[in-house]
Amino acid sequence: MDDDLIYQLALTQIPQIGSVHARILVQHFGSALEIFKANQKTLEKIEGIGEIRAKRIKQFRQFASGEKESHFIQKYRITPLFMTDKSFPQRLLNCYDHPVLLFYKGAADLNASKIISIVGTRSNSDYGKQFTEKLIKELAEQHVVITSGLAFGIDAISHRAAVRHHLPTLGVVAHGLDQMYPQEHGNLAKEMIKEGGGILSEFRSGVKPDKHNFPGRNRIVAGISDATVVIETGVKGGSMITAELANSYNRDVFAIPGRVTDAKSAGCHHLIKFNKAILLTDAKQLIQAMGWDEKPKETIVIQPQLFLQLSEDEKCIVTMLNEKESLHIDEINLKSGLSTTSIAAAILNLELQSLIQRMPGKLYRLIR
């Protein structure tokens, strides 16, 4: 029995401790076990926790539930992913409300260099179906991971097209992995896994696809990707929620235009009209916008004398990027302690000197 997993599971079950509070606790203590070992006074002093939540943690006793879930995970070869694991989707860590524990069945790389989400209406038109299939066919050479929500309509069309073109495709679901919703997509899910894709959820076994679970599912679809493509949608619904979330996470959003009189395209037109999405016409435009057609730049070694010529702000950013393969702009803002204006100016100067490179999803890396 994995004791760490038992405490990780327990952390997700504490009343009034949601994903944001759990993240704060893990960042403070380093592990779920250390959270439960802390005394109440220590817990109370953590910003955002307070007396009531601290009591909830100390009063928690339902560890047997975690043991049962651990057996389920082992029996069905599900991979639990805690937020401190290297295999946890790193893009999600840049989202303020990311889950702390995920359950994964499959082989797709959740940290692949190119991941896009494709979302849309459950009652698509022939135009939406044709565009989705053509887009994925033209993306096949890019070896992109295609993410969606395994729902009827555009979601399922995206997954099936990805399987057909041998692209790994990830289905994010709003229920436990002991079931499939809709049931009609059970075989599709198996095909996705067989083709090197996977099924991902933040919900333990036994959790049903209740209505209130879907917005949480949508935040994972939005946050795990470099960009979200909205094919067809009305002005309300899950696809619009996903697009809004992607914008809030500083992800690129693209929307497919349709006829101005078509209600199925009304949501896409709304996103484009209010500058919440880029009008997308084909895969070539998407590839160019994401920088996937750029040739690798010549490797540059930052010499000590050049480093000395950098400003203090520029040195700060270079030092941060030297410690990690890449950093999201939000992480640079958070950890550097610099103002947004200073960061923007420093990044621009470093790009002009060919010392750093912007990658899809507002990530930056050092050119070595």
Q: pTM, whole model, 2 decimals?
A: 0.80
Q: Which of 46-50, 240-244, 271-275 is least confident?
A: 46-50
Q: 329: pLDDT confidence band, cut at 50, 70 and 90? A: confident
Q: Which residue has the tokens 């929620």?
A: 241
For the chain, what percent of residues have pLDDT higher than 90?
A: 72
Tell me the mean pLDDT in the region 318-326: 83
Helices (H), 86-237: 126-139, 154-164, 186-194, 214-223
CB 176 within 8 A of CB 201: yes
Residue 324 in tokens = 């990690």
pLDDT, tens only, 154-201 = 999 999 999 999 999 999 999 999 999 999 999 999 999 999 999 999
Terminal CA-CA length for the chain: 43
Mean pLDDT, the chain, rounded, equals 91
* pLDDT at res. 195: 94
Fold of 106-289: Rossmann fold (3.40.50)
Distances (CA, A) of 177 to 71, 138, 217, 331, 352: 13, 31, 13, 32, 48
Q: What is the pLDDT of residues 107-156, one digit of tens each?
A: 999 999 999 999 999 999 999 999 999 999 999 999 999 999 999 999 99
Q: Where are the domains of the chain?
A: 1-67, 106-289, 304-366
Structure confidence at residue 1 (pLDDT): 47
Predicted local confidence at residue 300, as pLDDT: 47
Is residue 232 pLDDT above 60, yes or no?
Answer: yes
How is residue 284 written in tokens? 């070539």
Q: Residue 302: which pLDDT band, with cuts at 50, 70 and 90?
A: low
Which residues are bridge partners to 106 per DSSP? 198
pLDDT at 236 over 80: yes
pLDDT at 364: 87
The dotted CATH code for 1-67 is 1.10.150.20
- Rounded to 10°, the helix 329-336/340-352 angle is 120
CATH match for 304-366 among 3.40.50.1220, 3.30.43.10, 1.10.10.10, 3.40.50.720: 1.10.10.10
